[in-house]
Amino acid sequence: MFKFLLLVTFIPLFCSSQGYQVNLQGQIQQGMGSAGAAFVQDASGIFYNPGGLAFLNSNEASIGITPTFANATFLENGTSELARTISPVGTPFTAYGMFQLKDSSKLKLGLGIYTPFGSTIEWEEGWAGRFALTRLQLKAIFFQPTISYRITDKIGIGAGFVYTTGSVNLQKDIPLLDQDGNYAHAELAGKGQGFGYNIGLYLKPTKHLAVALTYKSQVDMAVKDGTATFTVPSSVEDKFPSGSFSSELPLPQVVTLAVAVTPNDKFAIALDMNYIGWDAYDTLAFDYAVNTESLEDTKSARNYIGTIALRLGVQYKISDKYTARAGIGYAISPVVTGYLTPETPDDDRVNYTLGFGYVINKSFDLNASLLFTQIKREDTNLETLLSGTYKVRVFAPGFSVSYKF
Amino acid sequence: MSILVKQFSLISSVNFSVPNVSGASVGVNLDSNSRLILGYKTDCKGETSLSPIREAQGGDVSILGSNIYSTGFNNLGVPSAGVLDINQVGYGNPSNGIGNYNPYFARMSSNQSSASILLDAVSQNPTFFTIELGEADLMTFAKSGGTSTSPPVANGTMGIGFDGSLEEIVSALDINGAKGAISNVPDVLSYPYFTTIPYNGLKLDVDKAATLNNVFNSLGLFFVVGDNPFVIVDTTQAINVRKMVEGELVLLSAPLDSVKCFGMGSIFGIPDKHILTIQEISTINSYQVGYNSAISTVAQAHNLAEVDKKNLITSLSTGIVYNGVSMSTEFVTGGAFSLDGRNLNPSGQALLANLYIEAINATFNAKIPTASVVNYPGVIFP
């Protein structure tokens, strides 16, 4: 009775691209379609390619932010009632620091703090999928101390240790009406942490060509002692005991092969190809400390597939002070037919980006970028049978300031 | 019906009058009881549990006290109206005496003595109509435990048979080429009213089994520790009682306090009116088959949209998932039926309304949007 399925995932694919590979970790790269593992220009290489850091020759500190405006709509099949999200603006940020012990040292040390998660998706009150999801907030901060070494003038390697701390808050309605006409509600909140690494190889065989291979490991985010809170009519409170739960979420591995061509001092082209190991996400399980006939542990099939993303960017130096950038990305969705959910209205997508750089003086740089993407996908979820068409639009302007010393 | 009208009005302006009852009223049924709500009930053993209870001591009989007809109602769905009642003049005439008229129609008819439901419908020159007939005929018989008069036979002339009467009704509505939709008849015996109490719900401990065996073994009835079939009244038996057999149904009307504390179903039999026997079930099933065949024939002859309510109920009896909500024919928790166990609740009605819309869209090449079922309430919990 009152069988309650927590049919949820908490991967916010929503932000700008597939999964935790949100790729809003550097304004230069963002301006260039998020390509740049072989085009390391600043300390954001800590994220994009630790092996390329060793080819930079300065100490640097930078901070950046990319306010992300994402709106989704859902039209249930057959009906004429359009549901909208009322999500707050996402604020993924970056902070990088890079140091060398002496000028032109072969060894660089760095620390990156970045938020490859950080989106909130919230659907308007009373929407058709409220028993699947009403709100999902996920925050994750990655801390990555990094070391990079230039073996020769043509080969650099780097490695970073990743510590991740984050929180999740997931809410949905339960189809039990109380006397006031309100539906019961479930809120799952928890903190989790995980570990991983980020390694990169950077090759520069000629002045005009760079090649990169990087590997970001899978990070398993474990929520061990989350809090499940059920607001239900008093007559069924015993069936929905609030208490603790545990769950785990794989943040997939990413392999990147990249190339950058710089035919002259003004012009650069960067191309990245990512393989993202989303196939790790085959099941989402919730284990409740206390089970009842209405509140059983759940295992929901996700059956994601490993995917490929291609990213192409160009940069043109207008003058010593001004730089213009543009890029395009194409990412295949890991969500197969029958598994689309309101927290991950995802599809194969094209990202369009523009970027702009300004050198204030020899110490300070400003970089800005703009990303736009949209999707439209119709699906019937096999578990909830929520059937309809999702449309998503994302608009993400960002800027960063860096200080070289 | 109101869900359908709401959806129709999304694509064109619809004036549709309904003989509504104030939402503040506790309602009234044919037995003058108020509507059911989910509340706490203490049984004969002093155990309190969640159970359907009457919202008030008595029903709001003022609802049925007067005729509220002014310009005619578009919704002419009258509770309990059978196929033979539709064209019966004076069906809403109180002077026919209690039991010989329908007080709901008395409230809404254009003329209590000279109107019939059909006349009131035809007088509006309908351009579109929906018909759901046959279920009430089977339900009236089934909910009486097979003790009421038999439903109309499937085949016979108007006023006698289901098919003849239905053809007469549809022909009258269709006279100016109106379009319409018609629903088939579901298996009413899969409704919670008939499936909630198991036939073998007589649980006996060692002492009780021994006591019953002492009394009944000599009469040929034997009891075991654990689950036993209930004992029911059966006047064809020498001792007037027998044990139920698998497949027979106990109705939700069975007085559970008598069963739990006063030996009904064990020491003495559950009365016939609370039981459907194999033979009665078979009768109802064969009527259902005959009615559906007639409905299909009439629908095709008049090019009506055919609504497969039968299939909806079959799906619900095994359980469906809709937008993350599990719905089934299970009593209270199934979320699709009202607390009387015999009617769809608003959520269930929305599922049915969508079937109407899909059938209408398919038959008449229309594009009426369906309703979002989750916007319609189910059972309310205290």
B379 contact A CB<8A: yes
- Collect all residues of chain B within an 8 Å Cβ-Cβ radius of residue A129: 323-324
- Any domain includes A285: yes
CB B105 within 8 Å of CB B91: yes
Q: Around Cβ A318, how many Cβ atoms within 10 Å?
A: 11
Nearest to B326 by CA among B314, B338, B335: B335
* Domain range summary for chain B, segments of one domain joined by +: 2-195+278-375, 202-276
Model pLDDT, residue A158: 97
CATH of the domain at A327: 2.40.160.60
The answer to whether the CB atoms of B324 and A131 lie below 8 A apart is yes
Terminal Cα distance for chain A, rounded: 66
For the entire predicted model, the pTM comes to: 0.90
B372 contact A CB<8A: yes
DSSP H/E element including A388:
strand A387-404
Model pLDDT, residue A118: 62
A234 contact B CB<8A: yes
A128 contact B CB<8A: yes
CB-nearest to B372 from A79, A172, A181 is A79
Find tokens 């310009």 and name the residue: B71
Q: Is the ipTM of this complex over 0.85?
A: yes
Distance separating alpha carbons of residues B110 and B74, to the nearest angstrom: 12
Q: Around Cβ A3, how many Cβ atoms within 10 Å?
A: 14
The three-class DSSP label of residue B192 is helix
Chain length of chain B: 382
- Any domain includes A147: yes
Which amino acid, residue B39?
A: G
A180 contact B CB<8A: no
- Among chain B residues, CA nearest to A387: B323
Domain count, chain A: 1
382 residues of chain B, pLDDT tens digit each = 688 888 888 887 778 888 888 878 888 887 788 888 888 888 888 988 888 888 888 888 888 878 888 888 888 888 889 999 999 999 999 999 888 899 899 999 999 999 999 999 999 999 999 999 999 999 999 999 999 999 999 999 999 999 999 999 999 999 888 999 999 999 999 999 999 999 999 999 999 999 999 989 988 899 999 999 999 999 998 889 999 999 999 999 999 889 888 989 999 999 999 999 999 999 999 999 999 999 999 999 999 999 999 999 999 999 999 998 999 999 988 999 999 999 999 999 999 999 999 999 999 999 999 999 988 988 888 9
* Spacing of C-alpha A350 from chain mean position: 16
Distance separating alpha carbons of residues B319 and B306, to the nearest angstrom: 23
- Any domain includes A304: yes
CB B231 within 8 Å of CB B202: yes
Model pLDDT, residue A344: 79
Q: How far is A1 from chain B (nearest CA, A)?
A: 6
Distance separating alpha carbons of residues B225 and B216, to the nearest angstrom: 15
CB-nearest to B381 from A5, A81, A176 is A176
405 residues of chain A, pLDDT tens digit each = 344 433 333 333 333 344 445 678 999 999 999 999 999 999 999 999 999 999 998 899 999 999 989 899 999 999 998 999 998 888 889 999 999 988 878 999 999 999 876 678 899 999 999 998 999 888 889 999 999 999 999 999 999 999 999 898 999 999 889 988 899 999 999 999 999 999 999 999 999 999 999 999 999 889 999 999 999 999 888 889 999 999 988 888 999 999 999 999 999 999 999 999 999 988 888 899 988 888 888 888 889 999 999 999 999 999 999 999 999 999 999 999 999 988 878 899 999 999 999 999 999 999 999 999 999 999 999 999 999 999 999 999 999 999 999
Distance separating alpha carbons of residues B171 and B152, to the nearest angstrom: 19
A207 contact B CB<8A: no
Nearest to A129 by CA among B353, B88, B322: B322
Distance separating alpha carbons of residues B349 and B322, to the nearest angstrom: 14
Q: Cβ neighbours of residue A301 under 8 Å, at least 6 residues apart?
A: A282, A283, A339, A382, A383
CB-nearest to A234 from B10, B326, B382 is B382
The answer to whether the CB atoms of A235 and B381 lie below 8 A apart is yes
- Among chain B residues, CA nearest to A80: B369
B55 contact A CB<8A: no
A342 contact B CB<8A: no
- Any domain includes A133: yes
* Eight-class DSSP state of B368: P
Helix axes B135-143, B278-301, angle to 10 degrees: 170
Which amino acid, residue A199?
A: I
CA angle, A23 then A26 then A29, to 5°: 75
- Any domain includes A310: yes
| Burial class of residue B318 in the structure, from the number of CB atoms within 10 Å of its CB (0-12 exposed, 13-18 middle, 19+ buried) | exposed
Give the mutation candidate from B3, B6, B196, B321 for the A interface (greatest A CB count, under 10 A): B321
Count, in order, helices (H) and strands (E) of chain B.
11, 14
- Among chain A residues, CA nearest to B9: A80
- Among chain B residues, CA nearest to A236: B381
B70 contact A CB<8A: no
Domain B2-195+278-375 has CATH 2.40.128: no
Tokens of B75: 């919704």
- Any domain includes A6: no
The answer to whether the CB atoms of B357 and A78 lie below 8 A apart is yes
B378 contact A CB<8A: yes
Strands A254-261 and A267-276, by their bridges, are antiparallel
Terminal Cα distance for chain B, rounded: 28
Which amino acid, residue B279?
A: Q
CB A255 within 8 Å of CB A211: no
Find tokens 């930078």 and name the residue: A62
* Spacing of C-alpha A351 from chain mean position: 14
A181 contact B CB<8A: yes
Model pLDDT, residue A294: 82
Q: How far is B10 from chain A (nearest CA, A)?
A: 8
CA angle, B53 then B57 then B59, to 5°: 95
Domain of residue A330 covers 27-396
